[in-house]
Structure 1
Amino acid sequence: MGSYFKFFLTPLFLCIMGLSLIIDGWMGLSLSLVVVCSIIFGELFFGDDISTPNYRFPFLLDFSLFINVPLFLIVLYLFLDRVSSAFEWYYLLYIPILGLLMALSLINIGHELVHRTSKKFDCEVGNWALATAWNPAFAIEHVYGHHKNIGIVEEDPVTASYGENPIIFAVKAFFKEHVHAWGIESRQLNRRKQRILSLHNRILNGYLRTLMVFGLIGYFFSWQAMLIYICLGIVANYIFQLTNFIEHYGLVRIKGKPVQYHHSWNSNNRMTSYLTYNLTRHSDHHVHAQKEFWELNPCDNTGVVLPSGYLTYILLFTFFPSYAKSQMAPRLKHWHENYASVDEKALTLHYLNFSN
């Protein structure tokens, strides 16, 4: 059962956070630090997982996915209720923790569900999750844009160039995703001869959902709760954009050429893989986008595997960007010499300087 339980790690952390908010005070805050310490400890010491079990009960894995959304909403309710009732300064310490959990349980889960384009209910839950996390355009741009344009820096807003500033990238990528999504949706609506400013527009529907959630928070809680909710969205989207940054950092692809395993960075770090439902098996995800998360292969023999988890690299690129860049340089050089095509080598030579 361990192969099933590992994907209940994020729901478990959400339950711990909910309990910490019910207890409240310094004891509650101390309990929330269990989540932080567990993640850090797991990243550093739990090693890798390259197993590919044959699951007999996939409905349990689906349950582990869907349960994140209501659990996070319960935690969000508890937190906003505390903030609105009697604001304490230590509640600010919850923001980065809950922002991380919003990224994991709403944006990441939404990412997984909107890929299930043939399942209307799954897509609907995914769209609501993304809208609640302030990112309603992601479903359109990611599925119909990023997966088509991966590695083409000029056309993909979430493919990061070598040496690019991670914070500037995160801000730029977030807004460019919305612009690209509007372009994709506009072309789709024009082909159907439908108006852009109508409820046929999926992005407009997403914005309305976000505004609805924001309005409900203002109505039932307080202006402080609304500000906190905005802060949670900023943290969550920053974390997820930094994940995008790491997944394709410095890698390129020639337009028109097929997506291959060497166009994404993988990590088989046990903690990150479990928390993100194998998002870290990113090469296989891009080559086989319709695979369920439990079907993805670790690609441990492709040469594009990072030695640490995505969360470690998020911290490194945020607080020690020069060091993180120096750690990636030899890996990019290895990629350039052993995996890049002739045309990709010519393209990387145009802007990569591995001596820096």
Structure 2
Amino acid sequence: MSDANGATTPNGTKATAASAFRWRYLLVFLLVAGPIASWMLDPTGFLAGGSWMGLVMIHLLVPALDALAGEDDEVPLNGRTPLMNRLLPLLCLPAWYLLLFWAMALESRASAWGWWGLALSLGASGGILAINAAHELIHRPGRVERTAGAMLLVGVCYGAFKIEHVRGHHLRVATPLDSASARRGESVYAFIPRSVLGTLRHAWTLERNRLVAAGEQVWGPRNEWLRLAAASAGLALLIGGVFGATALALFLAASVVAVVELEIINYVEHYGLQRLQLPDGRFEPVTPAHSWNANTGVVNAFLFNLQRHADHHAHAGRDYLHLRSLPQAPTLPLGYGAMVLVALLPPLWRRLMDARLARTG
């Protein structure tokens, strides 16, 4: 793609002025409209997809469209982000809770087939609408945006991610210390529990150490780990009290699916990449060589350019519209949408990735 205001950056990517609203990022809200419309048209789930539509959209339609649409090298050049583009991740907060409570209200009318469709679709949508949008927000400097990110994570019972990702993962990425960096030869099925437990534990350690250093009570209201966990527990009690036990089970199942979706993305993003340990015990600085990138247009639109991951690690506070596709970063053979599916088949994953990993040096 090109633009009348286009220019070429020093790294060779196409850049455009950030003056006009970028409409493609509205695609993420199809994850609300699509499932709701599908259920209204087809509550049985056998024709238009019904409660399964969210899962179908994310893991079949989006990867297929991504492959057809191809590469996207447009990056804003100017510093100012259009206001509406800045607001879009914030709008994921009401969008997620609308979808969540719609599913809870619908749950009592669902068959067993429909219940599992709701759980998987809601969870898959939560991995994007809740967790990915939260990822964008928790890196921003504004308190309102960081709080909105926390509230999104509360909605999938993974508040610890806010603490560990910003204060842990970004410092320890691509080292043996980072539970969110997959090791060479490690399957996604071994990685997911290791990463989740590591996130919970390290987030607690970070928060405990912060409070001790400040002379505060660890088991008190200033402990963000506890506050976020309590908020998720409160949300679960609200859902159970208003909608019943099976709706509570649906919420918990969808939260597990959303977290698994995140962790598969984590697996894809850093698989096998390692920073060298220096003689003094420290690790070399993070470089573009320590994140797997993809630059396909459809998935970039749905994930707020998360696939430009090397630049995100170089500039964690950089707005999603300004992330660059760095040619020196190792590149995945397919976009994240397809690679998530490949990761579920370890022999195919290793066949595609291990030789590519060896070429990174």
Same fold (TM over 0.5): yes
Q: Find the counterpart in structure 2 of residue 227 from structure 1.
A: 249
- Tell me the CA shift for residue 90 of structure 1: 2.4
Of residues 101, 114, 120 in structure 1, which corresponds to 2:143?
A: 120
* Match status 1:5 vs 2:23: yes
Structure 1 residues 78-87 or 275-284, which shifts more? Answer: 78-87
CA distance in 1, matches of 2:208, 2:339: 36
CA distance in 2, matches of 1:149, 1:264: 13
Q: Find the counterpart in structure 1 of residue 348 from structure 2.
A: 323
Q: Which amino acid aligns with 1:314?
A: V
Q: Find the counterpart in structure 2 of residue 344 from structure 1.
A: none
CA distance in 1, matches of 2:23, 2:223: 39
Deviating runs (4+, > 6 A) in structure 1?
Answer: none
CA distance in 2, matches of 1:135, 1:78: 21
Q: Find the counterpart in structure 1 of residue 195 from structure 2.
A: 173
Q: State the aligned residue count.
A: 332
* Match status 1:150 vs 2:177: no
Q: Secondary structure at the match of 1:72?
A: helix
* Match status 1:58 vs 2:76: no
Q: Deviations over 1:249-285 (max 9, x none)?
A: 0000133321111110001122221111011100000
The question of whether the paired residues in 2 share the 8 Å contact of 1:138 and 1:181 is answered with yes
The question of whether the paired residues in 1 share the 8 Å contact of 2:21 and 2:82 is answered with no
- Tell me the CA shift for residue 146 of structure 1: 0.4
The question of whether the paired residues in 2 share the 8 Å contact of 1:304 and 1:335 is answered with yes
Q: Find the counterpart in structure 1 of residue 6 from structure 2.
A: none
Of residues 243, 250, 261 in structure 2, which corresponds to 1:239?
A: 261
Q: Which amino acid aligns with 2:167?
A: Y
* Match status 1:18 vs 2:43: no
Q: How does 1:90-105 map to 2 (within 5 A)?
A: 90-105=114-129
Q: Which amino acid aligns with 1:181?
A: A
CA distance in 2, matches of 1:128, 1:69: 8
Q: Unaligned 5+ residue runs, structure 2?
A: 1-18, 277-281
Is the alpha carbon distance of 1:23 and 1:213 closer, same or farther for their aligned partners in structure 2, counting shifts above 3 Å?
Answer: farther
Q: Find the counterpart in structure 1 of residue 160 from structure 2.
A: 137
Q: Find the counterpart in structure 2 of residue 208 from structure 1.
A: 230
Q: Which amino acid aligns with 1:115?
A: H
- Tell me the CA shift for residue 23 of structure 1: 4.1
The question of whether the paired residues in 2 share the 8 Å contact of 1:271 and 1:309 is answered with no
CA distance in 1, matches of 2:227, 2:257: 23
Q: Deviations over 1:16-39 (max 9, x none)?
A: 222233445135635927735431
Of residues 280, 289, 314 in structure 2, which corresponds to 1:262?
A: 289
- Tell me the CA shift for residue 73 of structure 1: 1.3
The question of whether the paired residues in 1 share the 8 Å contact of 2:63 and 2:335 is answered with no
- Tell me the CA shift for residue 97 of structure 1: 2.2
CA distance in 2, matches of 1:125, 1:28: 33
Q: Secondary structure at the match of 1:190?
A: helix
Q: Which amino acid aligns with 1:94?
A: L
The question of whether the paired residues in 2 share the 8 Å contact of 1:11 and 1:67 is answered with no
Q: Unaligned 5+ residue runs, structure 1?
A: 337-356
For the aligned residues, what is the CA RMSD? 2.0
Q: Deviations over 1:303-332 (max 9, x none)?
A: 5111211121111111x2111111111211
Q: Deviations over 1:39-72 (max 9, x none)?
A: 1321321111111134765211122211222112
- Tell me the CA shift for residue 239 of structure 1: 1.0
CA distance in 2, matches of 1:88, 1:251: 42
Q: Secondary structure at the match of 2:219?
A: coil
CA distance in 1, matches of 2:255, 2:98: 16
Of residues 37, 46, 49 in structure 2, which corresponds to 1:29?
A: 49
CA distance in 1, matches of 2:223, 2:75: 39
Q: Which amino acid aligns with 1:15?
A: A
The question of whether the paired residues in 2 share the 8 Å contact of 1:21 and 1:79 is answered with no
Q: Which amino acid aligns with 2:157?
A: W
* Match status 1:184 vs 2:206: yes
- Tell me the CA shift for residue 13 of structure 1: 2.8
Q: Secondary structure at the match of 1:52?
A: strand
Q: Which amino acid aligns with 2:349?
A: A
Q: Find the counterpart in structure 1 of residue 11 from structure 2.
A: none
CA distance in 1, matches of 2:96, 2:36: 9
* Match status 1:276 vs 2:296: no
CA distance in 1, matches of 2:81, 2:296: 24
Identity of aligned residues (%): 26
CA distance in 2, matches of 1:29, 1:88: 15
